[in-house]
Homo-oligomer: A and B are copies of this chain.
Amino acid sequence: MIFQTTSEDLRTRARTGILNLNGVKLETPVFMPVGTRGVVKTISADDLEELEYSLILGNTYHLYLRPGTAVLERFGGLKKFSTWKRALLTDSGGYQVFSLNSLFKYEQDGVRFQSHIDGSRHYFTPNSVIDIQRTIGSDIMMVLDDCAPFDSSQERLRQSLDRTHRWAEMSVEYWEKNKNSSHLFGIFQGGIDLGLRLESLQKIVSLPFDGIAIGGLSVGEPRKDFIRILEGVSAYTDRSRPLYLMGVGTVPDILDGVKNGVDMFDCVLPTRNARNGQVFTSLGKINLRNEKWKSSDVPIDPHCGCKVCKRYSIGYIRHLHHVGELTAFSLSTYHNLYFMKNFLSEIRKSIQAGEFLKIYAKWKNLYEKPEFSG
């Protein structure tokens, strides 16, 4: 087993654990920064090491198109190519085919699509995305699935489930015959229909995946539906395996994920928002572009110990954002990833101390209100 539970909250399904990925051990719940194209945007591998991240995400769809598998093969995988020495998870590329392309077509055994970059034609199958992820050299591979929009018809949701389940079986069969030291996670779907969700979860849990992922949630559905599905499925997950909530998320969403037993998260939010000037602090989120910070000589967050907060004033970083200097993006990204690392660490400690709901309430209160006014 790659996963061990180390403590459980008594009043919720929150838990801490250890994920062991080919020798890289990390504590869960964990947040994974997103390195779509072989780099976490605007920062370097040095920065990620300094920030003490042990697991990042790469996007199979993007890496398959550029630099492409020939280059990755030549270098011995993405880790060697990008000099990332710790653990790597890759998605299957299925979600990007659907979200980045206007031209794609699901077939019985795979999905045809045209590149969003040059229009070239490609075909992903459950087996081919495993091969691509093997070339990328990820420690955790995700299966190809069919993620239907949350507001799809019942017919489309049923089709998504059938396809997702058939592909999951094909993936397992192919994987069993071609195993290496990597690990394969299954994904369950079902939109915001709890019945379909439970059916899909049951099917995916029945297969010998190393971990289970919730796909197709946090894709635009109302927050109450997000919570309803999370709560509805949480009692039926397999607690012996890690649970991964894909593409999540915000501070409140991570809190509700953890509360419902989620162990792993990834999201572009901390990095993308940083580039837009939104940073996270111990008092709530703030917008660095705001005129009001113009003359402020305090750090972004006086309680933050990151190298950005130790050195620079919010007034200076606001200036860099205001004039459009790229250094603004890297400094803000660094800060937000430092915040996320500490936020997850605080969550883990609170679970171990039996005080998760206290931390849950504290951060919910800070992050469900409008921006901190300084």
Give A contacts to B, CB under 8 Å. Answer: 37-39, 41-46, 62, 66-67, 70-71, 74-75, 81-83, 294-295, 297, 307, 311-313, 315-316, 319-320, 322-323, 325-327, 329-331
Contacts and interface: CB of A to CB of B under 8 A. Distances in A.
Copy number in this complex?
Answer: 2
A41 B329 CA distance: 11
Contacts of A294: 67, 71
Contacts of A37: 319-320, 323, 325
A37 B319 CA distance: 9
Contact of A83 (B43, B45, B316): B316
Given A319-B67, A331-B44, A74 B295 contact: yes
Contacts of A322: 66-67
A66 B325 CA distance: 12
A123 B330 CA distance: 35
A55 to B, nearest CB: 19
Contacts of A307: 46
Nearest to A40: B327
B38 A295 contact: no
A93 to B, nearest CB: 16
Contacts of A46: 307, 311
A82 B311 CA distance: 9
Given A43-B327, A83-B316, A331-B44, A71 B38 contact: no
Given A37-B323, A66-B322, A75 B329 contact: no
B327 A39 contact: yes
A292 to B, nearest CB: 13
Contacts of A320: 37-39
Given A71-B319, A74-B295, A75-B297, A327 B41 contact: yes
Nearest to A62: B323
A315 B71 contact: yes
Nearest to A322: B66
A59 to B, nearest CB: 11
B44 A83 contact: no
Given A81-B313, A311-B83, A330 B325 contact: no
Contacts of A316: 38, 75, 81-83
Contacts of A331: 44
B319 A330 contact: no
A8 to B, nearest CB: 39
Nearest to A324: B37
A323 B81 CA distance: 15
Contacts of A41: 325-327
28 contacts: A37-B320, A37-B323, A38-B320, A39-B325, A39-B327, A41-B326, A41-B327, A43-B327, A44-B327, A44-B330, A45-B311, A46-B307, A62-B323, A67-B294, A67-B319, A70-B295, A71-B295, A71-B315, A71-B319, A74-B295, A74-B297, A74-B315, A75-B295, A75-B297, A81-B315, A81-B316, A81-B319, A83-B312
